[in-house]
Amino acid sequence: MILRITILFFIVYLQGFAQYKDQTGADYSKAHYSFDVNNFYGTILKHNPDISHLITGHPSGVILSVNRKTFGNKKWQRLYNSPDYGVSFIYQNMDNEFLGENYGLYAHYNFYFLKRILMLRLGQGIAYTTNPYDEDNNFRNVAYGSHFMSSTFAMLNLKRENIIGGLGLQTGLGVIHYSNANFKAPNKSTNTFVFNVGLNYVLDTEYAEYVEKGKGAVRGSEPIGYGVIFRGGVNESDVVGSGQYPFYTIAAFVDKRLNKKSSIQLGAELFFSEALERFIDFRSTGDFEDGTTGDEDSKRIGVFLGHELRINKISILTQLGYYAYYPYDFEGQVYNRFGARYYFNKNMFGSITVRSHAAKAEAVEFSIGYRL
């Protein structure tokens, strides 16, 4: 299910690669592409003491990327200083016999600063690991409980194009994250801090000038909106082998569009989790002596405050929540949510998010919503 929906997200995302017509009078209908290849070398960060035995070497690999340039002929492009967007492939040798090798495919954006010398690349996608947890053959790999995982990466690079013809250089730092968000236990995840150096190549060095953002371009507040969201998915508790079960969340929210980039949200949501219900049963029947009786309610009610960063039809969501109704202590009373939303039209949207408790992910959520 994660694979199918991620592929759908890529299809929607890559629709932007179709040719477009200019709104300013210049000829921007021709697509301009660049490629880059980066080698990297790094170390796994010890965000959780449970993965200490997996940090034995220095992971290395390669990042291959294709980018489509934008020039500010559309409003959303001018708001973000004409970013690139594209697709990346990452191969990573984890340099640990229990972790194996990872292969990832990502959709990404490149954002530019300091006269386009400094580049921030943000990518989200899906990864395949060759050596996940196995009860008999690889029980030490508590980081990856399944072959397929969600993956995020970020790069901050100094970048120069067209140094010799279309050939340029780039170098900098990055972080690569792998996690299946408790789709299947165990899921301690990894974060690799890397140093990269690479080459970039622009296919056509003759292209239109970048259109400046202009004064007041970010302005554009809107009245308060209201909406509902239905979230769902499948996850497993921290008990390895306890089984994967569906969960559902019903949410209502109000939001305020502050400008063309940002909006803030306030909402409440009701959580139903069969995996948590089974976990309560497990704790009540085992000899854990933690006071669990089995009569505890597995439902939770949360309130959340969030921010939405709009980039054309896609937005980046960040939310912080608190379980106001919390009858059973599980992972913590404060939660956070991070992910992406896509607007099908003015009112309908879909999203893929990860809900976590600090660094401990509980679920990948697939959502559909309607905003008045």
CATH number at 196 reads 2.40.160.20
Same domain, 189 and 267: no
pLDDT of residue 5: 44
The answer to whether residues 231 and 101 belong to one domain is no
If asked whether residues 25 and 161 sit together in one domain, one would say: yes
Q: Are residues 96 and 171 in the same domain?
A: yes
Q: What's the confidence (pLDDT) of residue 2?
A: 45
Is 252 found in the same domain as 337?
A: yes
Answer yes or no: is 361 within a domain: yes
pLDDT value at residue 26: 45
348 and 238 part of one domain: yes
Q: How many domains does the chain have?
A: 2
Cβ-proximal residues to 244 (8 Å cutoff; 6+ apart), any chain: 183, 184, 234, 235, 236, 275
Using alpha carbons, list the distances in angstroms from residue 17 to 24, 87, 110, 199, 342. 19, 11, 15, 23, 16
Does residue 210 belong to any structural domain of this protein? Answer: no
pLDDT in tens, 171-191: 999 999 999 888 898 999 999
Q: How high is the pLDDT of residue 269? A: 98
Q: Clarify whether residues 303 and 356 are in a common domain.
A: yes
Look at residue 138 and tell me if it is in a domain: yes
Percent of the chain past pLDDT 90, that is, above it, reads 75
Q: What is the CATH number of the domain that holds 360?
A: 2.40.160
The answer to whether 143 and 51 have CB atoms below 8 angstroms apart is yes
**215 within a domain of the structure (yes/no):** no
Residue 220, in any domain of the structure: no
Greatest pairwise CA separation for the chain in angstroms: 74
Q: Are residues 148 and 229 in the same domain?
A: no
Rounded Cα–Cα distance for residues 349 and 229 (Å): 9
- 129 — phi, psi (to 5°)? -110, 140
In a domain, 300, yes or no: yes
Q: Which domain holds residue 329?
A: 225-371
* Rounded alpha-carbon distances, angstroms, from residue 189 to 52, 58, 186: 12, 16, 9
Which residues of the chain, if any, have pLDDT below 70? 1-29, 215-216
Residue 69 within any structural domain of the chain = yes
**Do 27 and 86 reside in the same domain of the chain?**
yes
CA 73/CA 24 separation, integer angstroms: 6
- Same domain flag for 307 and 350: yes
Give strand pairing partners of 123. Answer: 108, 153
Q: Which of 169, 202, 235 is the last residue of a domain?
A: 202
The enclosing H or E element of 339 equals strand 334-343
Partners of 301 in the β-ladder? 270, 325
CA distance linking residue 64 with residue 105, whole number of Å: 10
Same domain, 13 and 121: yes
> Does 191 lie in the same domain as 253?
no
Closest CA to 55 of 64, 47, 45: 45
Dist CA 365 CA 150 (whole Å): 12
- Alpha-carbon distance of 132 to 150, in angstroms, equals 14
How would you classify residue 281: left for phi > 0, otherwise alpha for psi between -120 and 50, otherwise beta? alpha
